[in-house]
Structure formats: structure tokens, C-alpha cells
């Protein structure tokens, strides 16, 4: 029993010494983890600072791009409110007629259905200049109507102010701007739209190349609108401001200096 007791005491001392070594190793690991934690915290702060710096650079590049090369702004139209016209021209017009005229002015026949748009008739959105504008309500039917008319009309096109020309040019510039923004923001676009002329037909520009049929034109516009919305979502643009048909207006909200997260 005495010999067994001595053996047990010796084993207990060995376990005690091993426990001390393990405790020292544990404390060493804890000190190392604390150092790593401090280092990770510092690196995280540095990374966040670099992200903020990168966001500011992207923001400054975008604001410079949209102020010098691709300015986007609202263009007021000269259309007057029916209530004002009625009060001046016909004092006998009833209030119900005035309200019906105002409601009709806010309604547009778009793609086989009537669409209510409060901005319709009040403003248009221009890009690169006040002469290149898009209808605010997203009704680009003037383009394919012009294309269909050209197919049946012989001779050169002398209508330099044809709205189909400005629609095509505005969509072309919008495509160029969207593709450039995706590069600056490092955001992959869900739809592929070419913005330059290439010899092969597969890489031809969607809007500034040959005259597009109604189906191809509508499909290209939908792809462009999808890319714009994708960029707006990536930059946390207020969803209440966006509309799936408002091409340039959505772009204007995206690149606005008031967009807090622009460049993220």
C-alpha cells in the first residue's frame, strides 16, 4: 500500500507539472490570439478606410463624368395645364371637363395598354445636351413608328428634328454611360449591351447601328433598363424614386450628388 501510494504521488506530480506546462501554453496561445485580434482589427479598419477612399474616388470620377461628358438633367416642356388654358379661353368649361383633361394628360398608351404617369407632359430628361432627350414616361414608340414609315417611304430622310433620332441618340449615350459606370463601380451587369461599332453583326451597336425592328428595339431597351436598375440597386438608391420604364430618370437618380452610397 505504501509503495502504491508513492507511485500515485509521483504520477500526480507528473500530471501537475504537465498541467503547469499546458497552462503556460494556453496563456501563450491567448496572448497570440489577442495580438492577432488587434492586428485583424487594425487591418479591418485600414480596409474600411481604403474602401471609403476608393468610394470617394469612384464618386468623384462619376460626378466628373456626368458633369463634363454625360450631363443628365430635366428639361421642362412648354405644355400648359388644362386648368390654366380653360380659365383663359373658355369660362364656360365645367370643372369635371378640366379634371378629365388633366387626367388624360397624365395617361399614355404604351405597349397596348394605358399607363398613368404623373410626370407625363411636364418634363423630359436630357443627356449630353438639352437637344437629346427621352420621354419621361418611357414611351419610345416614335422610334419604331419612324422605322416602319421609312420602310414604306422612298427617298432621303430630311427630318433632322425627328424624335426618333433623338431617342436613338439618347439611348446610345445612356448605354455608353451605363457600361462606363459598371467599370468604374466594378459591378457586373446582368445584360450585355454593346456600345461601340464593330465590323461583325454580332457586336454591332444596339441603338446607333442599323434601324431596329420593334421587337429588337423593345428588347434592347428592356436590357438597358435592367442594367440601370441593377446599378441603382448596387448603390442603394432609394427604391421609391425608381420606375422600371424611366431610363434616364433612374440614371439621373443614380449619379446624383445626393446619392449617399454612390461609389460603394
Give the per-residue pLDDT at 196.
60
- Residue 70 C-alpha cell reads as 454625360
Are 247 and 253 contacting, i.e. CB atoms less than 8 angstroms apart? no
Are 177 and 127 contacting, i.e. CB atoms less than 8 angstroms apart? yes
pTM attached to this predicted model: 0.68
Q: How far is CA 220 from CA 87, 127, 174, in A?
A: 44, 18, 12
Report the candidate in 247, 224, 242 with the shortest Cα–Cα distance to residue 126.
247
Give the number of other CB atoms < 10 A from CB of residue 177. Answer: 24
Give the per-residue pLDDT at 157.
53
- Residue 237 C-alpha cell reads as 438608391
Give the tens place of pLDDT for each residue, 63-119: 999 999 999 888 876 544 444 444 444 444 555 665 666 566 555 554 455 555 544
Q: Tens place of pLDDT for every residue, the chain, 264 residues?
A: 999 999 999 999 999 999 999 999 999 999 999 999 999 999 999 999 999 999 999 999 999 999 999 998 888 765 444 444 444 444 445 556 656 665 665 555 544 555 555 444 457 888 988 888 888 877 888 887 777 776 666 555 545 557 778 888 899 999 999 999 999 999 999 988 876 655 444 444 667 766 777 888 888 899 999 999 999 999 999 999 899 989 999 999 999 988 888 888
Give the per-residue pLDDT at 26.
93
How many angstroms separate the CA atoms of 222 and 72, rounded?
20
Domain range summary for the chain, segments of one domain joined by +: 57-77+97-255
How many angstroms separate the CA atoms of 127 and 143, rounded?
17
- How much of the chain is helix, strand and coil, in % rounded to 5? 60, 10, 35
Give the per-residue pLDDT at 83.
43
DSSP 204: S
Burial of 132 (0-12, 13-18, 19+ CB in 10 A): buried
Angle at 215 between CA 197 and CA 114, to 5 degrees: 125
Task: Name residue 114's beta-bridge partners.
Answer: 109
Give the per-residue pLDDT at 201.
44
Give the per-residue pLDDT at 178.
93
Amino acid at each position: 500500500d505504501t509503495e502504491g501510494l508513492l507511485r500515485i504521488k509521483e504520477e500526480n506530480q507528473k500530471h501537475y507539472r504537465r498541467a503547469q506546462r499546458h497552462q503556460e501554453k494556453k496563456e501563450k496561445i491567448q496572448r497570440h490570439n489577442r495580438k492577432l485580434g488587434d492586428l485583424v482589427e487594425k487591418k479591418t479598419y485600414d480596409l474600411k478606410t481604403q474602401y471609403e477612399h476608393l468610394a470617394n474616388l469612384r464618386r468623384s470620377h462619376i460626378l466628373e463624368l456626368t458633369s463634363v461628358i454625360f450631363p443628365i438633367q430635366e428639361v421642362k416642356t412648354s405644355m400648359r395645364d388644362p386648368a390654366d388654358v380653360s380659365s383663359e379661353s373658355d369660362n364656360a368649361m365645367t370643372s369635371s371637363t378640366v379634371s378629365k383633361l388633366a387626367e388624360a394628360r397624365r395617361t399614355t398608351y404604351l405597349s397596348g395598354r394605358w399607363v398613368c404617369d404623373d410626370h407625363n407632359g411636364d418634363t423630359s430628361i436630357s443627356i449630353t445636351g438639352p437637344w437629346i432627350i427621352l420621354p419621361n414616361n418611357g414611351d419610345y414608340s416614335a422610334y419604331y413608328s419612324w422605322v416602319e414609315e421609312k420602310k414604306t417611304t422612298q427617298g432621303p430622310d430630311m427630318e433632322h428634328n425627328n424624335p426618333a433620332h433623338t431617342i436613338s441618340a439618347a439611348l446610345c449615350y445612356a448605354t455608353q454611360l451605363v457600361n462606363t459606370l459598371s467599370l468604374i463601380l466594378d459591378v457586373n451587369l446582368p445584360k450585355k449591351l454593346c456600345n461601340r461599332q464593330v465590323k461583325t453583326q454580332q457586336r454591332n451597336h444596339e441603338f446607333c447601328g442599323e434601324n431596329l425592328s420593334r421587337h429588337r428595339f423593345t428588347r434592347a431597351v428592356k436590357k438597358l433598363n435592367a442594367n440601370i436598375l441593377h446599378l441603382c440597386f448596387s448603390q442603394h438608391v432609394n427604391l421609391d424614386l425608381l420606375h422600371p420604364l424611366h431610363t434616364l430618370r433612374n440614371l439621373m437618380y443614380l449619379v446624383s450628388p445626393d446619392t449617399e452610397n454612390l461609389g460603394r
